[in-house]
Amino acid sequence: MILAASAVRPARGLCLVVTAVGGLVFVVLAAWLVPWHWVPGGHYTHVAANDVFTPAQIRSGAHYSSMQRHLGWAAYAVSLVVLLVLGLTSLGRRLVDRLPGPWWVRTPLAVAAVLVIGDLATLWFGIREQQHALAYGLSNQAWSGWWSDLGLGFAVNWVGTSIALLVLVGIARRAPRRWPVIVAVLAAGLAVLGSFVYPVLVQPLFNDFTSLPKGELRADIMRLARVEHVRIDDVLVADASKRTTTLNAYVSGFGSTRRVVIYDNTVRDLPRRQVLVVVAHELGHAHHRDVLLGTALGAAGGIAGVGLLGLALGSGWIRRRSGAGSPGEAHVVPLVLALAAVATFLVSPIENTISRAIEARADRASIEATHDYAAFTDVQRRLATSSLADPTPPRLSQFWFGTHPTALQRVGIADALRDR
């Protein structure tokens, strides 16, 4: 009975409702909670690259970033092409046909097969990027560690993707007409759960974390937390210097899993005032609950995505083109991964526009908490030069893929606040 039912297409009307509900929630949340104006009045000060960086720094940043950017673009394009070929031709179905076992075995095996093919197709680009990072001093990681990280990253991606596809295929078998509604609700729940457990389940696989030792820096950070109305019990230091020479910090998780983390080389290499500026930025994220906001937006986007997926899988043309058949069978895996990759590419400008606005608000929070405009400008210069960032990246690249304002834009935010 399940196999017969699984041949039924999902109800088109339900798919449209799910898409509309997810899209509406996303738009409402984004309009209500995203800080669209980077500074009061909406305009930051224009800053020329020569006002912040030396000509040599501008040249080296532009050169290195251009090399890595073109490698990244090429890898992305190859990955999309591979997924589309597997998902929209009979190759994907023939691949899954060769896999053994029932659907709940073949589904994760199909995920592994597609991911392995995609990773092998883009492996050369990743190796070249690492070679450049080593040659320019941005990485100090041995190749054994790099391969280990690659394997860990694959395993994490495979487990997460397999769980999602098992949920989709299993529910589509049981409720072939109503699965988009059920999967949409579960997808939103998995997005929240994943964001909650990521700091304690995934991040420790890649880094060791220790508490920032007692001292003047820790006392100043705790004072900043009180200024920004953020309750923290600890500040963690990650052993990032085993991989990279770039400087960074981040906040992840929410509720009881929220973490404020600083790279060990950030603590070691930056003056205390600049470290405080960096941490104040992360505390700004915590104060505004930006991880939770991103999670909620991701959950809403996931609901809309499931509705669109239901429409796509109900399309006769797509089903014939791919030969995937029913969403209740493992044969659908290559098609779903291809559609997800295309959707991710198309929504990247929306996601990253929101991300840049949220990062700009965290910059404002840092400046307002420390009132140290000079240290803020100095640390933006240092962060950019330590990563050989391009001060003026191509506009389309920054629009489509840029998750943060550029260093010059961030300095312009500080100048606009100071002038105000």
* pLDDT (tens digit per residue) in 337-361: 999 999 999 999 999 999 999 999 9
* pLDDT (tens digit per residue) in 297-338: 999 999 999 999 999 998 888 888 888 878 999 999 999 999
In a domain, 2, yes or no: no
- Whether the Cβ atoms of residue 190 and residue 22 lie closer than 8 Å to each other: no
Residue 318 to residues 180, 203, 315, Cα–Cα distance (Å): 17, 38, 5
Which backbone phi and psi does 246 adopt, to 5 degrees? -70, 155
Structurally, the chain folds into a number of domains equal to 1
SS3 track for the chain: CHHHHCCCCCCHHHHHHHHHHHHHHHHHHHHHHCCCCCCCCCCCCCCCHHHCCCHHHHHHHHHHHHHHHHHHHHHHHHHHHHHHHHHHCHHHHHHHHCCCCCHHHHHHHHHHHHHHHHHHHHHHHHHHHHHHHHHCCCECCCHHHHHHHHHHHHHHHHHHHHHHHHHHHHHHHHCCCCHHHHHHHHHHHHHHHHHHHHHHHCHHHHCCEEECCCCHHHHHHHHHHHHCCCCCCCCEEECHHHCECCCCEEEECCHHHCEEEEEHHHHHHCCHHHHHHHHHHHHHHHHCCHHHHHHHHHHHHHHHHHHHHHHHHCCHHHHHHHCCCCCCCHHHHHHHHHHHHHHHHHHHHHHHHHHHHHHHHHHHHHHHHHCCHHHHHHHHHHHHHHCCCCCCCCHHHHHHHCCCCCHHHHHHHHHHHHHC
Using pLDDT thresholds of 50, 70 and 90, give the confidence band for residue 124.
Answer: very high
Q: What is residue 291's predicted lDDT score, i.e. its pLDDT?
A: 96
In a domain, 321, yes or no: yes
* pLDDT (tens digit per residue) in 163-183: 999 999 999 999 999 999 999
Using pLDDT thresholds of 50, 70 and 90, give the confidence band for residue 4.
Answer: very low
pLDDT of 8 > 80? The answer is no
In a domain, 3, yes or no: no
Q: Which of 48, 78, 77 is nearest to 392 (CA)?
A: 48
Q: What is residue 326's predicted lDDT score, i.e. its pLDDT?
A: 84
* pLDDT (tens digit per residue) in 67-103: 999 999 999 999 999 999 999 999 999 999 999 999 9
Q: What is residue 324's predicted lDDT score, i.e. its pLDDT?
A: 81
* pLDDT (tens digit per residue) in 129-157: 999 999 999 999 999 999 999 999 999 99
In a domain, 95, yes or no: yes
In a domain, 1, yes or no: no
Query: ∠ CA 71-346-165 to the nearest 5 degrees?
Result: 95
- Whether the Cβ atoms of residue 166 and residue 102 lie closer than 8 Å to each other: no
- Strands 236-238 vs 209-211: parallel, antiparallel or unpaired: antiparallel
pLDDT of 292 > 50? The answer is yes
Domain that holds residue 81: 8-419
According to DSSP, the residues that pair with 210 across neighbouring strands are 237
Q: How far apart are CA 163 and CA 165, in angstroms?
A: 6
Q: What is residue 335's predicted lDDT score, i.e. its pLDDT?
A: 96
Mean of the per-residue pLDDT values of the chain: 94
Tokens of 125: 């680009």
Q: What is residue 325's predicted lDDT score, i.e. its pLDDT?
A: 78
pLDDT of 1 > 60? The answer is no
Q: What is residue 9's predicted lDDT score, i.e. its pLDDT?
A: 78
In a domain, 216, yes or no: yes
In a domain, 119, yes or no: yes
Using pLDDT thresholds of 50, 70 and 90, give the confidence band for residue 7.
Answer: low
In a domain, 222, yes or no: yes
User: How many Cα neighbours within 13 Å face the side chain of 82?
Assistant: 17
